[in-house]
């Protein structure tokens, strides 16, 4: 097997650094391949995947329809669950209908948060102007009055009240009530040209990395803290509990249905049609493991 170096991109958020710690530190490996790891904001990761620049990459679930021709979605390592959705915030109490004609900050135009808010506004016949910015800038933009409202993700759902903001809508709750399904937020994708064997091994390695993190949570603590935007240990712990779920180990049948539903919604909104290619990598055996480095 040719021992090429694989590029791997994921975010500095606690859920990703928790999941990928063992892989990043060689505790779990993809030998003989080495990893060139890049940590970046989710919208930058989306852009890298849209350009086909990464072998393995965390992306927003909303971007999957646009990269399906080049990437396959892995069943491990993603963010999906209930009670995990982006929140719409404002500096004063508002309803969604009050945002008609408003400027709303979004944490990237290709993010699932922007997609969900667009779908909700379409349902309520609300039009808005999206102002694209890094997720960590959204709350300040709302609090300062630069925008009327903002879609917040990641740690923001745990800290918005401290910033004096008010919840306009819980986009995850809206999705769950509308579909009865968990909400897909992000996924790990692999370039199709890596080949089925390497894709399968990468998928198993990511699951093994998460299994190691769950078995040894203290091992990843310093790595997570070093990259987290919000340094409060209680917020970091809540972030991991919220965004790392059993769907992160393996999507399963319900996760597949949820991902398919979100992709169909995204395609309907944009008027696109999906390429005739399998979205997901083959299922992992229940006993799938990969050798860990002693």
Task: Note the Cα 227 to chain centre separation in Å.
Answer: 16
Tell me what percent of the chain is helix, strand and coil, each rounded to the nearest 5: 45, 20, 35
> Which residues have CB under 8 Å from 36's CB, separation 6+?
5, 6, 7, 8
> Which residues have CB under 8 Å from 208's CB, separation 6+?
22, 28, 289, 290, 292
| CA pair distance 270, 94, nearest whole angstrom | 28
Yes or no: say if 152 and 139 are a contact pair by the CB < 8 Å rule.
yes
CB atoms within 10 A of CB 270: 13
One of 114, 154, 212, 239 is an active-site residue; which one? 154
Yes or no: say if 105 and 150 are a contact pair by the CB < 8 Å rule.
yes
Report helix, strand or coil for 232. Answer: coil
Yes or no: say if 60 and 108 are a contact pair by the CB < 8 Å rule.
yes
Catalytic residue status for 33 = no
Yes or no: say if 79 and 248 are a contact pair by the CB < 8 Å rule.
yes
- The label of the residue with tokens 């597949």 reads 256
- Supply the residues annotated as catalytic: 154
């Amino acid at each position: 097997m040719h021992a090429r170096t694989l590029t791997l991109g994921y975010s500095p958020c606690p859920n990703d650094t928790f999941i990928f710690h063992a892989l990043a530190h060689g505790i779990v490996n993809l030998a003989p391949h080495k990893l060139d790891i890049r940590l970046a904001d989710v919208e930058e990761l989306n852009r890298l995947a849209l350009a086909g620049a990464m072998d393995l990459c965390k992306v927003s679930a909303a971007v999957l329809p646009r990269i399906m021709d080049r990437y396959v979605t892995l069943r491990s390592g993603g963010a999906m669950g209930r009670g995990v959705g982006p929140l719409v915030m404002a500096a004063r109490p508002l309803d969604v209908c009050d945002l008609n004609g408003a400027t709303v900050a979004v944490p990237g135009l290709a993010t699932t948060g922007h997609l969900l808010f667009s779908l909700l506004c379409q349902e309520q016949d609300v039009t808005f102007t999206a102002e694209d910015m890094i997720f960590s800038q959204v709350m300040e933009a709302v609090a300062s009055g630069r925008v009327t409202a903002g879609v917040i993700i990641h740690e923001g759902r745990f800290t918005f009240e401290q910033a004096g903001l008010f919840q306009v809508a819980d986009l995850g709750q809206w999705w769950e009530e509308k579909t009865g399904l968990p909400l897909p937020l992000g996924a790990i994708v692999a370039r199709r040209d890596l080949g089925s064997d390497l894709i399968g091994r990468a998928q198993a390695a990511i699951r093994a990395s998460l299994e190691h993190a769950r078995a040894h949570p203290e091992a990843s603590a310093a790595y997570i803290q070093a990259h987290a935007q919000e340094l409060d240990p209680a917020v970091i712990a809540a972030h991991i509990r919220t965004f790392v779920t059993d769907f992160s180990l393996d999507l399963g049948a319900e996760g597949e249905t949820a991902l398919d539903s979100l992709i169909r919604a995204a395609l309907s909104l944009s008027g696109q049609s999906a390429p005739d290619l399998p979205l997901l990598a083959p299922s992992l055996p229940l006993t799938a493991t990969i050798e860990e480095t002693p």
